[in-house]
Amino acid sequence: MSYDFDCIIERRGTDSSKWGTFPEDVLPMWVADMDFASPQPIIDALARRIAHGVFGYGLEPQSLKQTLVERMMRLYRWEIRPEDILFLPGLVSGLNVVSRAIGEPGDGVLINTPVYGPFLTAPANQQRTLQSAPLQVRQIGRRLHYELNMEGLAKAIQPHTKLFLLCNPHNPVGRAYTREELSEIAAFCEAHDLVICSDEIHCDLLLDDAHHIPIASLAPEIAQRTITLMAPSKTFNIPGLGASFAIIQNSVLRKRVEKAMAGIVPHVNILGMVAAEAAYTQCDPWLEALRSYLTANRNVAVAFIEQHLPGARFTCPEATYLLWVDLRAVVDGKPADFLLRKAKLAVNDGAWFGEGGEGFVRLNFGCPRRILEEGLRRMAAALNGFSE
């Protein structure tokens, strides 16, 4: 079956955060939300549920939990149970709930930067102390390859550190960490008795022949100290439906998270559950086609930057639909502000991702190729004419 990812869908006037935040002459390539229609089985499943006409309080569908159990085994040879799964309205909620559940006010939460912005804010929201170490980066030509910084983490950790927040696949640098890298992190967390919270929301968005390995799948003893956060939202372009989940195999940790959620975190809405089940049971062919399209988009973007932006350095992501671009040699100050002003192009400011992000931008290539090419042309025209 063929899928038309080249189709441009008008999103203005739909209360889209991505398309409604900036004026109409600005091309938005910022927030991690794709411009493709969701798979037809999801649309059909939602239509059937809506046609019923009654939207009362819902129960957690046990069939969805069983689907997730089977999916983890099929994809990762990871054995979990239905009772290990907690549903959440979003990954950011999950990061905040876990920061609240682990340790006490004033305890430390350890991260590597640059990283998805809520990693920086969730600990402080819950009266925890943020401790960070920058990722290591190697340059191969003009391509940037990021790696975990174990030496930096060892220096950053304190006696009161209780939690390590991992992002894998990594947003914004696009790494899908290897088994060896994850084993090193797991050993570090074991040695320091840290709980691991692993944000794996981009786990299905693998490019080329990349593989995803849930850190909890490494060994039973690692699973006992790990809280894994996943969701269908990024993969199937349904973030507005607010459906995600945590996998927590340690019953003590699971009860602590449930207690932290109590009375504050809302239930996942019934339409989010319907969409999630359709996504995970009927949409694998669409996902394979999406991966191929995103890989081609990634290649187009990398080739364009190599040819037309000689001052830029950049990642070649192994996963996600996000390109991380270093413009420090080209633009003084904040390049995202410059591109918004001069190119009418909205990208994420690298400083939002913490230490090591200043002077970078994050560009979303999860869009029809004509939109991607237009965004790249705008970027090149503005940067190559830069004279301030």
Q: Does residue 291 fall inside a structural domain?
A: yes
| CATH value at residue 95 | 3.40.640.10
Residue 348, number of CB atoms within 10 A of its CB: 22
Question: Is 373 part of a structural domain of the chain?
Answer: yes
In a domain, 157, yes or no: yes
In this structure, the answer to whether residues 192 and 239 fall within a common structural domain is yes
Q: What is the pLDDT of residue 1?
A: 77
Same domain for 319 and 266: no
Is 8 contained in some domain?
A: no
Q: Are residues 123 and 195 in the same domain?
A: yes
Domain extent, residue 161, equals: 47-282
Domain termination site, one of 282, 297, 318? 282
> What CA–CA distance (Å, rounded) separates 221 from 250?
10
Domain shared by 207 and 141, yes or no? yes
Burial of 355 (0-12, 13-18, 19+ CB in 10 A): middle
Our count of domains for the chain comes to 2
In a domain, 6, yes or no: no
Check whether residue 292 and residue 278 sit in a common domain. no
Task: Indicate if 337 and 361 belong to the same structural domain.
Answer: yes
The CATH number linked to 328 is 3.90.1150.10
Residue 4 lies in a domain: no
Q: What is the pLDDT along the chain (388 residues), one digit of tens a residue?
A: 789 999 999 999 999 999 999 999 999 999 999 999 999 999 999 999 999 999 999 999 999 999 999 999 999 999 999 999 999 999 999 999 999 999 999 999 999 999 999 999 999 999 999 999 999 999 999 999 999 999 999 999 999 999 999 999 999 999 999 999 999 999 999 999 999 999 999 999 999 999 999 999 999 999 999 999 999 999 999 999 999 999 999 999 999 999 999 999 998 999 999 999 999 999 999 999 999 999 999 999 999 999 999 999 999 999 999 999 999 999 999 999 999 999 999 999 999 999 999 999 999 999 999 999 999 999 999 999 753 4
Both 308 and 174 in one domain: the answer is no
Last residue of a domain, one of 226, 260, 282: 282
pTM: 0.97
Is 277 in the same domain as 297? no
Q: Is residue 12 part of a domain?
A: no
**Chosen domain end from 247, 282, 317:** 282
Q: Are residues 240 and 148 in the same domain?
A: yes
For position 386, what pLDDT does the model report? 53
228 within a domain of the structure (yes/no):
yes
Q: Do 193 and 317 reside in the same domain of the chain?
A: no
Do 233 and 102 fall into the same domain?
Answer: yes
Do the beta carbons of residue 30 and residue 348 sit within 8 Å? Answer: yes
Shared domain check, 320 and 182: no
Distance (Å, whole) CA 169 – CA 205: 9
